[in-house]
Structure 1
Amino acid sequence: MRVIGLISGTSVDGIDAALVELEGHGYDLTVSFIQGLAYPYPDDLRQQILALCAGEAIALDQLATLDDAVAQTFAAAAQALIAQAGPADLIASHGQTVFHRPVGRPALPDQGPVRLAYTMQLGRGAAIAQHTGLPTVSNFRQADIEAGGEGAPLAPIVDLCLLSHPTERRCVQNLGGIGNVAYLPPWNRRDSAPKVLGWDTGPANSLIDIAVHTLSAGALTYDVDGAWAAQGTPCLPLIQRWLEHPYFTQAPPKSTGRELFGWEFFNQCRQDSQGQGLSPHDLVATLTEFTAASVTHEYRTFLPARPDRLLVSGGGSHNPVLMARLQAHLPETAVQPTDAVGVSASYKEAIAFAVLGYWHRQGFPGNLPTVTGAARPVVLGHGNDEALPR
């Protein structure tokens, strides 16, 4: 089956689309990556999404219009990929996360803990199916949430299939807007699957992107090739202060988003940096080092053993300063992009949702309770075959 996976992460830097040929059932899976495409958001649509993620109020009719615009753009990304790489049988769309409240975080300060997590992704699958004429699986997080999980991260089960090794302990670290890790014990694929751990490690590119966009007066949206960080000097006392955030002492399962590591956190970081007399380049260097330090802090605190190899995906894998700092923090671990072992670092997350959509069709569970905290494995996603034009 040829499946297109679609996702836009918390960086809101566009839609990653991956066309994948899939065969097999469950873990016994053959995955052939055919082609990927990065499809940008129109500038005005990106700004609307970012404003909503930052907590800007929006009327319900405006939210509905925004939801439809995101779906139309996701559909356009799929159609552009089909035009380049040939037909698909199924679309699996993660959508665009605009709000994520994990299990146990109070909805309001004076309320007790909530019983279920809450998450919202724009770009409804029914609209994508209407625009493309293809069956579409979407809303992947909800079934895990209904089973008591956080609904995130969802990629570790696919990482197990694609990136585990018979003798190596591996970590797969995605560095999108938010970072997430999958810890993969050795697995020879003949025995039953090992216990995989995974969680959101905290900020990856979210704070760096906000900083560069702000400090460049909107001329840049991210730190291209780590150029700003390379020109600055990290402030280690600030990094230690920021690592005191309660998220970094919370044990997994856990997940997060821009609600914790977005504009409010950045504004505090900027205020702290001004108190230290940091230059703009110093601030970006400090936030880059903070990302590397937070990732490795999470490993040292919560992993059962150090990984032999760290495989990195997402936009952060293309930042040489961030990659070098990860290697410096983990001198006994080989740090590489996932491309080094045959999986595209740019499109790994889109590939993962293509697999989850394929498993939805098979009725195969796509979550890992050890990762999300769900009470049981469940089939993920909602199919939209009924939304196809007749």
Structure 2
Amino acid sequence: MLALNKNLQRLVNIAQKEEKLGIGLMSGTSLDGLDIALCRFTGSGLQTKFKLLNFITIPYQEDFKKDVQQVFARKEASLEKVCLLNEYIGTFHAELILQALSEWNIKPNEVDFIASHGQTIYHAPKSQHRQPGYPNATLQIGDGDHIAVKTGIITISDFRQKHIAAGGEGAPLALYGDVLLGSKAGENRILLNIGGIANLTYLPGDGNYANILCTDIGPGNTLIDAACRKYFDRPYDEDSKIALSGTVNEDLLNALLDHPFFNEAAPKTTGPELFNLAFVEAAQQRSGTLPISNEDLISTLSEFTVKSIANFISENFKADHVKIFTSGGGARNIYIIENLKKALPQAAITGTGELGIDPDAKEAILFALLGNETLCGEPMAIGNNPAVLMGKISFPL
């Protein structure tokens, strides 16, 4: 019998370990920086136990953000730039991983695997691109081979493609991790992530997987951040100072909410390909609100996020029968959280810290968990989502 090659033998050895040390990477649509979560895992599936050992967000410099924005959420972009960034981001993320490990006094050979989300540059579900004959599609760049070779650590990447290949839309993938880490018998829960895009996972207390729902809702921070960059030369609305200084324009708010996406049945996905400043300007033109102040625009966009989340939850769940746990950058947005509580007065709203999950680290943790499942889990059938193990494996050699 032929022996396995060294890479495959190493993979088998890692998969059979009682404890695994894994790194989860998340780089979101806000382009704030790279989230790096170092986790220890035992078990898999519903028996998974994890501990977050270290977490850091390494901010991106402005020149890097501008580089990525040249190809980000654009129907037309330089193919050469996409090609170059795919290699560059993989190498760059590897450097940031090694930087974090050095700060934590951990050697790369102590880490069993890296699970990398990559950088989404375009997300195109059929409901959005509407091109006959073409399937759901998505593209994340930041090649896993470059990460593996530069760090010397087995890397699992490109998770979303398997989900699409098996009939899904490639997002949101939080479902699988939320079920494993956030479920509680007898308690209906909503894990609400407010990143660039807002998404949620509903976890019924009866444990019936058929009733679990994971879906995008609409914009989270993406429109607020984009308007802050354009009109205030700021990356985001720190402490909601701008939103709180303005007044919500109801005519514009109603025009923003008057879009077919909000009437589509869940689960559904979206992204900044739809929710961008061109979308906002079109709503302003329809509502005759182009002359409003920049402060009022930020207030209205913040309220748009609140209303789209609150409307979805009110229409699909009994707010007094669920407990809502928030995460993502929007969980720190004073305006969004305070007004969400006002819009859903019967719901209990708190952060995922109450679950033992750092709200800032949650998505990076979830990808580390998906990596652990790739190595030693089994496909899970959850609701109408495909039962798959996701991710492509890259070896260092």
- Alpha-carbon separation, structure 2, partners of 1:101 and 1:56: 10
Change (3 A) 1:192 1:309: closer
Q: Does residue 159 of structure 1 match 2:178?
A: yes
Does 1:31 pair with 2:50? yes
Equivalent-residue separation in structure 1 for 2:102 and 2:284 (angstroms): 44
1:77 is matched with 96
Q: Is the 8 A contact 2:39 2:365 kept in 1?
A: yes
Amino acid at match of 2:150: H
The one-letter amino acid paired with 2:26 is: I
C-alpha spacing 1:39/1:368, structure 2 compared with 1 (3 Å): farther
CA distance in 2, matches of 1:340, 1:246: 35
Q: Does 1:136 align with 2:147?
A: no
Question: Once superposed, what is the RMSD of the aligned Cα atoms?
Answer: 2.1
CA distance in 2, matches of 1:7, 1:266: 27
Deviates more, 1:170-179 or 1:39-48: 39-48
Larger Cα-atom Rg: 2
Q: Distance in 1 between matches of 2:287 and 2:92?
A: 38
Of residues 99, 112, 123, the one that matches 1:89 is: 112
Q: Is the 8 A contact 1:185 1:194 kept in 2?
A: no
Q: Residues 2, 273 of structure 1: CA spacing in aligned structure 2 closer, same or farther, 3 A cutoff?
A: farther
Give the equivalent residue in structure 1 for 2:221. 205
Give 2:253's aligned residue.
239
336, 341, 355: which one aligns with 1:327: 341
Aligned partners of 2:242, 2:277: CA distance in 1, in Å? 19
Q: After superposing the two structures, state which structure 1 stretch, 36-45 or 354-363, moved more.
A: 36-45
Secondary structure of 1:211's aligned partner: helix
Deviation of 1:46 after TM superposition, in Å, equals 1.0
Matched, 1:112 2:132: yes
Q: Please name the residue that 2:327 is paired with.
A: 313
Instruction: Return the alpha-carbon distance in structure 2 between the equivalents of residues 270 and 313 of structure 1.
Output: 30
Deviation at 1:276, TM superposition (A): 6.3
- Aligned positions of 1:120-199 closer than 5 A: 120-187=139-206, 193=209, 195-199=211-215
Q: Which residue of 1 aligns with 2:231?
A: 215
| Alpha-carbon contact 2:197-2:216 (below 8 Å) kept | yes
Identity across the alignment (%): 35
| Matched residue type, 1:137 | I
**CA–CA separation in structure 1 for the residues paired with 2:347 and 2:221:** 22
Structure-2-length-normalised TM-score: 0.89
Q: 1:274 to 1:230 in 2, by over 3 A?
A: farther
Q: Give the match for residue 17 of structure 2.
A: none
2:66 counterpart residue number: 47
Q: Hey, what's the Cα distance between the residues in 1 that align with 2:284 and 2:34?
A: 29
Q: CA deviation at 1:384?
A: 0.7
Q: Tell me how far 1:236 sits from its aligned partner.
A: 2.2
Equivalent pair of 1:367/1:380 in contact (CA under 8 Å): no
Aligned-partner Cα distance in 1 for 2:380–2:82:
29
Query: How many Å apart are 1:135 and its aligned residue?
Result: 0.2
Q: Is the 8 A contact 2:252 2:289 kept in 1?
A: no
Matched, 1:228 2:242: yes
Can you list the C-alpha shifts for 1:281-308, whole angstroms capped at 9, x where unaligned? 1111110010010011112233476552
**1:80 aligns to what SS in structure 2?**
helix
| 1-structure distance, mates of 2:287, 2:244 | 17
Instruction: Count how many residue pairs are aligned between Structure 1 and Structure 2.
Output: 374
Query: Hey, what's the Cα distance between the residues in 2 that align with 1:352 and 1:125?
Result: 18
Residues 118, 157 of structure 2: 8 Å contact kept: yes
> Quick check: 145-154 or 38-47, which moved more?
38-47
- The 3-state SS of whatever aligns with 1:349 is helix
Q: What is the TM-score of this pair, normalised by structure 1?
A: 0.90
Report the Cα distance in structure 1 between the residues aligned to 2:362 and 2:213, rounded to whole angstroms: 18
CA shift at 1:81, angstroms? 2.2
Unaligned 5+ runs, structure 2: 1-19
1:73 is displaced (CA, Å) by 2.1
1:7 to 1:82, Cα distance in 2 relative to 1, 3 A: same
Residue pair 2:71, 2:82 contacting (<8 A) in 1 also: no
**8 A contact 2:73–2:123 mirrored in 1:** no
> For 1:342-353, what aligned pairs fall within 5 Å after superposition?
342-353=356-367
Report the CA distance between 1:237 and its aligned residue: 2.7
Structure 2 CA distance for partners of 1:266 and 1:50, relative to 1, 3 Å: farther
Inter-partner Cα distance in structure 2 for 1:302 and 1:121 = 31
Shift in Å, 1:43? 1.9
- Give the drift of 1:349: 0.4
Instruction: Give the 3 Å change call, closer, same or farther, for CA 232–59 of structure 1 in structure 2.
Output: closer
Cα deviation, 1:162-196, whole Å, max 9, x if unaligned, reads: 22222221111111101110001115xxx775631
Partner of 1:382: 392
> Structure 1 residues 83, 315: closer, same or farther in 2, change over 3 A?
same
Task: Extract structure 1 runs of 4+ deviating beyond 6 A.
Answer: none
After superposition, the Cα gap between the structure-2 partners of 1:246 and 1:194, relative to the gap in structure 1 and judged at 3 Å, is closer
